[in-house]
Structure 1
Amino acid sequence: MSYVYAFSHKHRRPPMEYKDLLGGKGANLAEMTSVLKLPVPPGFTISTDACRAYMHGGWPKSLDAEIATQVAKLEATMKRNLGDADDPLLVSVRSGAKFSMPGMMDTVLNLGLNDKSVKGLARVTSDERFAYDSYRRFIAMYGRIVLNVSGEPFEHELEAAKKSAGVKTDAEIPAAALKALCQSYKAIVKEATGKAFPQDPVKQLRGAVEAVFTSWNGARAIAYRVRERISHELGTAVNVQVMVFGNRDQNSGTGVGFTRNAATGENKPYGDFLINAQGEDVVAGIRNTEDLDHMKGHFPVLHAELMTIFERLERHYTDMCDTEFTIEQGKLWMLQTRVGKRTGAAALKMAVDMTKGTGKGDQRWKISRTEAITRVAAEHLDQVLHPQFAHKGKALAKGLAASPGAAVGRVYFTADDAVKADERGEKVILVRSETSPEDVHGMMISQGILTARGGLVSHAAVVARGWGTPAIVGADAIKIDGKKFTVGAVVVKEGDVISLDGTTGEVIVGAMELAAAEPPAEFNTILEWADVVRKGKLGVRANADTGEDATNARNLGAEGIGLCRTEHMFLAADRLPVVREMILADTPEEELAALADLGRVQQIDFEEILLAMDGLPVTVRLLDPPLHEFLPSVEELRIKAATTGLNKREKAELKAAEEWAEHNPMIGTRGVRLGVVKPGLYAMQVRALMAA
């Protein structure tokens, strides 16, 4: 069995069909290299087979030899040797699972640098500053990812170096300061691990590959797979690729671009770009970026070349593509492409637009209506039905509208604090300087995400769009200090309520009123096309428990109600006291009186639902849950009894709650068993339904 494949390897089928083996990134790199002939730095992919073998039995015996063979081929192609002291070949090591998991696994850049090769790099490039900038990045990245050293000491030393040099950005740190920073970083590694920073490039490569394999089962990767329903058994591939340097000089840069707008679906490329930087600077959000359009002013010829490549990628994949690219001393290199994640509104617009045709002349292409339907997931439809703000509020600050929608919640400044607040039942807005993959558990439960730094393709923006979570990034007026942020004289503390408009990028103090959403026109178009495809094969009914729900369902095309849960009616604020009267009744007469009151309102509920459905079928489920769910919490009543005491009514409620409490509510006195114990309950519901 082979575990390693060059990007240029001749597969029996197009490489993009080998995502199970090569992972999404590896398959697309091979596709760009061998099929599209795009400018891709050479490299090789260590397959998902190798990762699974590693997870189940350790490092495969043949893997070292296969990696060495591929490294030798790279060295021959590039006429440089890995880690050479005179003219070093440097590589990146990146993860690449079958399904895109942005930022959830690990990447190592500039591998092959050591105390000797950094001097060779400085000599051959005649740029000492560039060489030591690359080395300090490698030490920090390798230290964090491979050696499990905390990132905080590295950040502290970097900030101290900028302060000492009197500069604001990483790109302004002089060569002498970067040299000193490399020494400081190595000292951090030595103190944390008890060992010197590894100098052997072969051992560096083995360590990086193992770290990527291991990151498949990291906490953030597992959490993301659970959220996205991705199998834990797939494993990740590892891509080893010759480094090209966006941080080489002012004639270099790096960026992330989408062939269409992933937030709105507009047929216009967009993304972020940085001069004299490496790719991690863009996606990590540590620097506020320039819009991709601004690249035209710096590199007009390369911008035009990139736009041509965008058109070719869309035509080839017949979908919106997400790309990473680097410019090294005036030459454009493509580092990655994949079908991009998008919001619900964008998914709808792209799907409909692509059926109309894109491109010019013989390069024109389009998709079928059936294909368009498959491009829209149920989650996309759900997103565009989420409420929006009822009116415009006064903005405290404004950032980049990274993921549309309205969010209202309490401010928390760490992922852990956000999760704790969510467990208390609070609605949460996660506020960070920038997010990282370590924040994913807090991002998952947040109503919205706000960052002070970062661009439209930063980690926060990409993940939020994929989940349909409203997000604002790069709101640089916000100054975060511990558990508060300020905008001018206004202070917003942990637990304060703010509202985010992810469509306009506005941050508003307080809770804005929400109103029903107005889905885009493409929403109805896609549903109408789906109706044509399913006609005679599949019926669609809704879950609805009120007349309003039934009306909405009918308006959205439901052909009936598949489940009407009557307990939801009983939980309404004006019904719950009557339900409790029935439960607490001391005599049959009191119980009948309470049931009669319930019967009257239940009949009204049924009438509203049946009128809305206008003859379409309605399936009603009689009361199902156990009765303790309609009573106050036993724990809360016991606490009150032990502190302030209970009144007569509360004592009765506590007694009933204890009597009806279920150790296992799924198999207790519920459903038909409840109907046997309290036959008057079902008789009342059936009478109300028949009368309606």
Structure 2
Amino acid sequence: IHGMDVSKGILTAVGGLTSHAAVVARGMGRPCVVGAASVSVDENKRLATILSEGKRLTLKEGEWISLDGTLGEVYLGQCKTNEPDPKSHYFATFMEWADSFRGNFGVRANADIPRDAKQARLFGAEGIGLCRTEHMFFAEDRIPFMQAMILARDVETRKKALAKLLPMQRKDFAGLFESMDGFPVVIRTLDPPLHEFLPKRENLMVDIARFPNASSRDKKEMATTYGVKVGELKKYLPELLSRVEELHEFNPMLGHRGCRLGITYPEVTEMQARAIFEAAVQVAKKGIKVIPEVMIPLVGSVKELENQKALVVKVADEVLGNAGLKNFKYYVGTMIEIPRAAMTADEIAREAEFFSFGTNDLTQTTMGLSRDDYTKFSRQYEDLKIFKADPFAVLDQDGVGKVVEHAVKLGRKTRPDLEVGICGEHGGEPSSVEFCYRVGMNYVSCSPYRVPIARLAAAQAALSTDTKAEVQRTA
């Protein structure tokens, strides 16, 4: 992710429109073209080879190419570009017209850092519908502390590592709250499996083999890479490899992640909750209105949510009580991203004050389809009309949509004022936005740069849908 962060644009040989790299790039606002199978990269020679119209083109490091992420086109050389201005008179006027038809249907943005939140506000976002806290941990100054937490063999050592991450997360959350003055901020607790924060097993094995005969310069580079001193490498590398092998999973997408991590490592959830509420207090005392919504991921049973909610409420009571803000309003809810959660939404709504549908994972778990592997046969499926469209780009309303609609009805049966939204990539796709409006959701959330599309799609949905959905939203 560090490479993506410093890039001006991203071109990949594999993947699809909704693969994880494309989703992250979209959220960062980076032009991205994926699945360019004719591209091959030789890292050692610093060359890229492209086969185009029967010709072989070789690009050297430092040469220019230009990417059009909208059309998926790549141009040789440096094209002239024009930065869109969200403050332009014509754009602002048009979006005001669109907003006047949306009613109470909101449009939020997925944003992980204050910079993205500010960009989202420029495009008219009315809050943050998803803050992925794990992206904060990938920063170069934080990854060593995250790895130290993962390597810890006891709770106290783990807590010491988390204590170093606490002020960093608190600062990030404070920036988000300040950017969204008066609008809600949905913060998801740690979601990915822990192995994602560790080096790849193969790279570690190579470095362990190289280490005895490595030059002083190479050892210094290794020490910098792993965030330790040169003298610690001999002991540290085998320990790290051992932990990587322990954490290996055959199917990590359905493995030890989401609320399962928070249940087995409660100190992680506690640290994140403390960072959220300490940041909320800090910002609220500046006179800024703060609306935190803590979201627990990958819940499949109400018992899981009960466990994690209890931790969050305990920390909130302590922090807010010490600050003299006992009446401060916050919400605890969950992502609905596995079918069991949708089928038992009435039970889950006893504890959840809001639902947010993570339709990326819900599509995978409902259809039994990997979004990163689907591209290998997607063209045939779509050509043969087996699928009407890429289900990761356009919500499958006949299948996944029915699961969503069922969960909304069950949830509101238990809690009539349940806030319901969507935070998957579908939140910025017009036909999917129309579906969300029709089933009575309160909002959609998408990447900052898709917010104008979602605002327009919501207006179009309001104009083409009867008043039943509006009644559901305001019940």
Q: Shorter-chain TM-score: which interval?
A: 0.3 to 0.5
Give the alignment's TM-score, normalised by structure 2. 0.42
Give the alignment's TM-score, normalised by structure 1. 0.29
